[in-house]
Structure 1
Amino acid sequence: MNRLAHETSPYLLQHADNPVHWWPWSAEAFDEARTAGKPVLLSVGYSSCHWCHVMAHESFEDQETADYLNEHFVSVKVDREERPDVDAVYMEAVQAATGQGGWPMTVFLTPDAEPFYFGTYFPPAPRHGMPSFRQVLEGVRQAWDTRRDEVSEVAGKIVRDLAQREIVQQAPQPPGEPELAQALLGLTREYDPQRGGFGGAPKFPPSMALEFLLRHHARTGAEGALQMAQDTCERMARGGIYDQLGGGFARYSVDRDWIVPHFEKMLYDNALLCRVYAHLWRATGSELARRVALETADFLVRELRTQEGGFASALDADSDDGSGRHVEGAYYVWTPERLRAVLGDADGDLAVQYFGVTDEGTFEHGWSVLQLPQTDRVFDAEEIASIRERLLAERAERPAPGRDDKVVAAWNGLTVAALAETGAYFDRPDLIEAALGAADLLVRVHLDEHARLARTSKDGRVGPNAGVLEDYADVAEGFLALASVTGEGVWLDFAGLLLGHVLDRFTDPETGALFDTASDAEQLIRRPQDPTDNATPSGWTAAAGALLGYAAHTGSEAHRTAAERALGVVKTLGPRVPRFIGWGLAVAEALLDGPREVAVVGPDPADARTTALHRAALLGTAPGAVVAVGAAEGDEFPLLAGRPLVAGQPAAYVCRHFTCDAPTTDPERLRDVLNHR
């Protein structure tokens, strides 16, 4: 029987009606394989993965294929977003064996969960040099039946090889000026000066590297760093990767020019990019950055907020094209004729020019993705606003992409930080309220009585899987941002509880290295450990950042030491692969700057003079600065202790490296201090 009907993962539920007798990842599944003497088919994917849907339709919905699987294999389906630890362990094996990876991931295991054959997508018939899925199944079955000792020997060797693959040797000290300068040089070499971004196609939004560039400029004044960040952000915002009607970014661009996106929209991308554009505006005052930050925040709240106050994981790339076929990008693309049909000939022609829509199409089959090409023509803002409004209304009538409604703790932590800061910068209390709602859900639903995090929830029901390092780190990061914005010390307290688990259960006490799973988590064939960024900051460097911020708030030497030890890996990797450890480099910038500690005291948090100082503190560009606001000499935050009013007026105190500036009552002076290098 298929055992997925009661799972919380939307991806697993998509497969609950397959004729394949799926099991969720569980000890019982491997017991069944052991008892039946069958190998395990492990299939890993996620709900908005285009090729996962394709393989499901071609193979897992096919009765003949399902019958063969059910007879000869125990089939296990995993949502990589619910079980990033399982995904990481077997993806490492796939990449080591084949030199590449991706999803859907297809791995054949012994009943002891040891891998012996690997792949990703397999077609239903031989194609482009790939065997069919049925051929793979038959080959694996024959090897299992006739050469089982050889299979077991191969599996054992793979597991031993994985166990011997060590993380890059960690330096004993965090990076300093030489390593950060070398990292900047490395990014400069890989930078695409014509199009923005780094490397060739496909191009992914380099959120973590952009944060490093902005912080490096803030600390050193390096104009080249700011220029790379500005140009990349402008190119992305003008490209098809950005939704020119509804706001928000697609997962990546399939071309070097940011024109044609892979249309799925992920929560984590949009949370990270919302924060990047808000920080770019803070540094430059760019109107484009302000618009994109706010539109992306509004997209998050409008289209991804769940009924319970959390944020859903993703929107699919595919949707119904109006004829019953699921087609990638159908919801987002246009032709000149379609624009004229909605807007009339005159406004339709205007939209064709403004959005770069062509007769040939910039996507497939004559369709175009809306973008904002550079042009000398000046468009009337009111006309464009009217056109956008009418096109958005027409698009809303199309069949919408599916939404993955599971709430992932880590990604909600990133969203809390983005919405809290964006709301504070642009005087949007509704965005701060949305951040508070998500934080409240994380505490109510995801956090147990021992302050241990669950990875996911859905419809207010907590999922079965334990949080991993990135969950603890990113939720702590979100809570720290919320504490600085709201002046509510309880969020600092919650961050401290989560970071206590990071110190106790995720950190190697001998080296300070961090593991992706807790010491008491389910034991897999290898304990995953990866300091490099992927689509999000690595749990390792995200934890370093949260530990450093908490230490700045509280003066905790243990947390600061843990952050410094964790950053040793950035000293090693930063100069070599800066694109893939951007968040670690950003945290290192904060460490070199202090980070600065800002205490804003006043007779009343609602007092206009206190509010002006608080806003000036939040708008300071000093990397990683922490802000506490509250009553003079109050106990809401440790930074407020011993901080009196100045001549009866609200005041701000700025400290770093155990040295404090004279307090100021002038918001402009405070901004100058925080922007001073």
Structure 2
Amino acid sequence: MANQLASETSPYLLQHAENPVDWYPWGEEALQKAHAEGKPIFLSIGYSACHWCHVMAHESFEDGRTAAIMNQHFVNVKVDREERPDLDRVYMSAVQALTGQGGWPMSVFLTPDGRPFYGGTYFPPEPRYGMPSFADVLLAVADAWQNRRPELLEGSDNLVAAIERQMVALGAGKQQVLREATLGTAFHAILESFDWIQGGWGQAPKFPQPMTLEFLLRYHHTTGNPQALEMVKLTLDRMARGGMYDQLGGGFHRYSVDAHWTTPHFEKMLYDNAQLARVYLHAWQVTNDAFYRTIAEETLDYVTREMAAPEGGFYATQDADSEGEEGKFFLWTPDEIRSVLGDQADRFLAAYGVTEGGNFEGQTILELKGSLEERQALDQARHKLLQVRAERIHPGRDEKVLTSWNGLMLAAFATAARVLGRDDYRQVAERNAEFLLRELMIANGRLYHTWRAGEAKVNGYLEDYTYLIEGLLELYQATFDPRWYQAAHALTETMIEHLAAPVGFFDTSDDHEELIVRPRELQDNAVPSGNGMAALVLQRLAGLAVEPRYLKRAREALSPMQELLARYPLGFSQWLVSFDYALAQAREIAIIGQPGAKDTRALLHTCFDAYRPHQMVAVGMPTESAVPLLQGRKQVNGRATAYVCANATCSLPVTTSEALRQLIEE
């Protein structure tokens, strides 16, 4: 018998619709039921690609005896963290405050009005790993609710007050001058914790940290510091050679469970692949290393092949598991490879480290052990194996479309279209932008967060606005179609109207459902901080819109963050990217000319023939374009004409690539 999740659209929630647990989605019905029955709420938060979420579901939520305890003592609520990041952030703060750590599945016990009083993550069905069984936890909480309720409620009030203080305190420092020393201090902290053997930061588990890599590329561009670039190169090389990268199909797995990028958690997330594709593109621009270009293209090709919805959006995730086994889809034995490749097999086995003993439960996760020349020589062999692998049972796919993550992927495809001159990528990007603005934007200009099977829902969050604005700005830089600028500008005004805080932004809009606190996340997680990204897109858009209040708002948000950036740079790397932009004397380049004309294209080639992260370009005729940077400017002698502006001061007009290059590089 189906529970209350059967009518939901989230694939993760639908996976639990046949559980014996009487699950409810988050909402008034569940809260009112808890009030009416005087029961606490058990809140379980997870996501479709989460391995341990599936484990706990199988062990506990599909178990009739455990479900009976849950149904007797609790109102049980299931949340997809990707669909409701606001709930995830609020209650993760509670779990971290209670236990000192967090993760998924998240298990939280709440009062009927949603205030947390106890929590944890994964609980086993029997006592092990030093943890009590889930049934024991349920019974202990139920007993405490019956017999020690005043004590629980007092603790809950104190916990909520602490979370409120934390949300207010974040970034609440004094306004001060933006100091270059902040970037230098942050860089040296990043340098000190770098793994010079394997790349990346820390030991196991090791995460790709794309925002930190982006900051280092910018820091190298600004300062010329060679160590910044060496950290990027070593990390990108090791990741792309390791099991973190899908050596046959392209695209990156979530993270490495070891320190040397061999054994991944096998789920693939849209946001990781969007951010990493863009980092590899930027690294190719800086180094001219063709390997980085190849990895970026293979990653984007994987996305178009396996993660693209026919309507134009991109799906959220691919699971780690297939046929009930983690990673099974991606593993190989020597005999399997010999049966496909024949005489070429031994060369492939050596190049990709495939052995009889394997490196993962008796089978092998492919790693590139050979040279890049060997990799190229084995392209055909890899393609054959990919075709054979395609016949296997695929991992599950979460087919909801999230505005935020699609904005990140839009930026990746638009960047690739521009820097690689790939018209097919431009078409993918434009189709995605059209889909998002058609299906996930309301007539009043507001965004929805999630879409599946024709239905959009959930008020847009800060990250939906900021990531989509960034994607639209990149698409404008790739096409100079003014509608993408116009959409970015309109979304920015909506974001300020409905999400602005006195300094920076809230994660939720002013008419969002009222939670125990209004979340305001400043730290990066697997995706950039919405506030950190807002500080960047406001600055980038300010140059095109000639809008000083955008710059003012960005700088006011950056200023009180400086101590946090200097002390904890790995947690605030998106802020560092935005801070770097603020100090870099960004340039705006107005080119008066027809975007497709030969003389215009020559000037554009000069603008974009190198890695220049601190510039924005507008192209068009003043009478035809909505971009204010172009207004009031004229062509010289009927030729495409460029004006280079910095700090609200513009150069004299130039019409040759040589003169433009001199202005850009001075």
- Cα offset for 1:369? 1.1
- Partner SS, residue 632 of structure 2: coil
Any conservation in 2 of the 1:233–1:277 contact (CA below 8 Å)?
Answer: yes
2:499 — aligned with what?
506
Distance 2:660 2:329 in 1: 47
CA offsets per residue over residues 249-292 of structure 1, 9 Å max, x none?
Answer: 11101111111111110000010111111111112211011111
- Cα offset for 1:374? 5.3
Pair 1:348–1:672, CA change in 2 (3 A): farther
Residue 347 (structure 2) aligned to one of 342, 346, 350: 350
Distance 2:99 2:300 in 1: 39
Any conservation in 1 of the 2:219–2:225 contact (CA below 8 Å)?
Answer: yes
Residue 458 (structure 1) aligned to one of 452, 463, 475: 452
Any conservation in 2 of the 1:85–1:528 contact (CA below 8 Å)?
Answer: yes
Distance 2:625 2:375 in 1: 53
Any conservation in 2 of the 1:531–1:569 contact (CA below 8 Å)?
Answer: no
1:599 — aligned with what?
590
Distance 1:359 1:652 in 2: 62
- Partner SS, residue 87 of structure 1: helix
Distance 1:211 1:661 in 2: 29
1:559 — aligned with what?
550
Distance 2:609 2:5 in 1: 48
- Partner SS, residue 530 of structure 1: coil
Any conservation in 2 of the 1:265–1:314 contact (CA below 8 Å)?
Answer: yes
Q: So what's the TM-score if we normalise by structure 1?
A: 0.95
1:485-496 superposed matches below 5 A: 485-496=478-489
- Cα offset for 1:141? 1.1
Distance 1:298 1:569 in 2: 41
Any conservation in 2 of the 1:589–1:623 contact (CA below 8 Å)?
Answer: no
1:339 — aligned with what?
337
Distance 1:584 1:400 in 2: 38
Alignment partner of 1:534 is 2:525: yes
- Cα offset for 1:598? 1.5
1:62 — aligned with what?
63
Q: Which stretch of the first structure deviates more once superposed, 178-187 or 165-174?
A: 165-174
2:75 — aligned with what?
74
Amino acid of the residue matched to residue 591 of structure 2? V
- Cα offset for 1:432? 1.2
1:327 — aligned with what?
325
Distance 2:98 2:393 in 1: 41
Alignment length, in residue pairs? 663
Q: Which stretch of the first structure deviates more once superposed, 264-273 or 275-284?
A: 275-284
Any conservation in 2 of the 1:570–1:585 contact (CA below 8 Å)?
Answer: no
Any conservation in 1 of the 2:352–2:370 contact (CA below 8 Å)?
Answer: no
Unaligned 5+ runs, structure 1: 321-325
Any conservation in 2 of the 1:633–1:643 contact (CA below 8 Å)?
Answer: no
Distance 2:662 2:322 in 1: 50
Distance 2:658 2:9 in 1: 50
Amino acid of the residue matched to residue 443 of structure 1? L
Distance 1:578 1:77 in 2: 34
Any conservation in 1 of the 2:477–2:616 contact (CA below 8 Å)?
Answer: yes
Any conservation in 1 of the 2:83–2:449 contact (CA below 8 Å)?
Answer: yes
- Cα offset for 1:461? 1.4
Distance 2:174 2:321 in 1: 45
1:424 — aligned with what?
418
Any conservation in 2 of the 1:29–1:76 contact (CA below 8 Å)?
Answer: yes
Residue 568 (structure 2) aligned to one of 569, 574, 577: 577
Amino acid of the residue matched to residue 423 of structure 2? P
- Cα offset for 1:671? 5.1
Distance 1:23 1:554 in 2: 46
Distance 2:269 2:662 in 1: 37
1:387 — aligned with what?
381
Any conservation in 1 of the 2:351–2:370 contact (CA below 8 Å)?
Answer: no
- Partner SS, residue 92 of structure 2: helix
Any conservation in 1 of the 2:591–2:640 contact (CA below 8 Å)?
Answer: yes
Distance 1:199 1:174 in 2: 32
- Partner SS, residue 20 of structure 2: coil
- Partner SS, residue 144 of structure 1: helix
Instruction: Detail structure 1 runs of 4+ shifted over 6 Å in the superposition.
Output: none
- Partner SS, residue 331 of structure 1: helix
Identity %: 46
Q: So what's the TM-score if we normalise by structure 2?
A: 0.96
- Partner SS, residue 448 of structure 2: coil
- Cα offset for 1:670? 4.1
Amino acid of the residue matched to residue 626 of structure 2? E
Distance 2:397 2:100 in 1: 32
2:633 — aligned with what?
643
Residue 221 (structure 2) aligned to one of 218, 243, 246: 218
CA offsets per residue over residues 276-317 of structure 1, 9 Å max, x none?
Answer: 111111122110111111111111111111121001001101
1:323 — aligned with what?
none
Distance 1:644 1:293 in 2: 39
- Cα offset for 1:159? 1.6
Q: Which stretch of the first structure deviates more once superposed, 418-427 or 499-508?
A: 499-508
Pair 1:380–1:520, CA change in 2 (3 A): closer
Pair 1:358–1:174, CA change in 2 (3 A): farther
- Cα offset for 1:242? 0.9
1:484 — aligned with what?
477
Q: Which stretch of the first structure deviates more once superposed, 569-578 or 249-258?
A: 569-578
Any conservation in 2 of the 1:407–1:457 contact (CA below 8 Å)?
Answer: yes
1:298-337 superposed matches below 5 A: 298-320=301-323, 326-337=324-335
- Cα offset for 1:620? 4.1
Unaligned 5+ runs, structure 2: none
Any conservation in 2 of the 1:173–1:564 contact (CA below 8 Å)?
Answer: no
Distance 1:258 1:647 in 2: 57
Any conservation in 2 of the 1:544–1:564 contact (CA below 8 Å)?
Answer: yes
1:399 — aligned with what?
393
1:654 — aligned with what?
644
1:108-507 superposed matches below 5 A: 108-165=109-166, 166-173=169-176, 175-320=178-323, 326-344=324-342, 346-363=343-360, 365-373=361-369, 375=371, 379=374, 381=376, 383-463=377-457, 465-507=458-500
Pair 1:544–1:611, CA change in 2 (3 A): same
Distance 2:588 2:195 in 1: 36
Any conservation in 2 of the 1:180–1:585 contact (CA below 8 Å)?
Answer: yes
Q: Which stretch of the first structure deviates more once superposed, 636-645 or 294-303?
A: 636-645
Any conservation in 2 of the 1:219–1:622 contact (CA below 8 Å)?
Answer: no
Distance 2:562 2:178 in 1: 4
RMSD of aligned C-alpha atoms?
A: 1.7
Amino acid of the residue matched to residue 296 of structure 2? A
Q: Which stretch of the first structure deviates more once superposed, 585-594 or 189-198?
A: 585-594
Alignment partner of 1:625 is 2:607: no
Pair 1:624–1:301, CA change in 2 (3 A): farther
Any conservation in 1 of the 2:590–2:619 contact (CA below 8 Å)?
Answer: yes
- Partner SS, residue 567 of structure 2: coil
Pair 1:380–1:254, CA change in 2 (3 A): closer
2:46 — aligned with what?
45
- Cα offset for 1:233? 1.1
Any conservation in 2 of the 1:265–1:316 contact (CA below 8 Å)?
Answer: yes
Distance 1:636 1:421 in 2: 22
- Partner SS, residue 578 of structure 2: helix
CA offsets per residue over residues 154-206 of structure 1, 9 Å max, x none?
Answer: 22222222223222433413632110111111111011111111111111111
- Partner SS, residue 655 of structure 1: strand
Residue 600 (structure 2) aligned to one of 592, 610, 616: 610
- Cα offset for 1:215? 1.0
Any conservation in 2 of the 1:308–1:460 contact (CA below 8 Å)?
Answer: no
Any conservation in 1 of the 2:253–2:269 contact (CA below 8 Å)?
Answer: yes
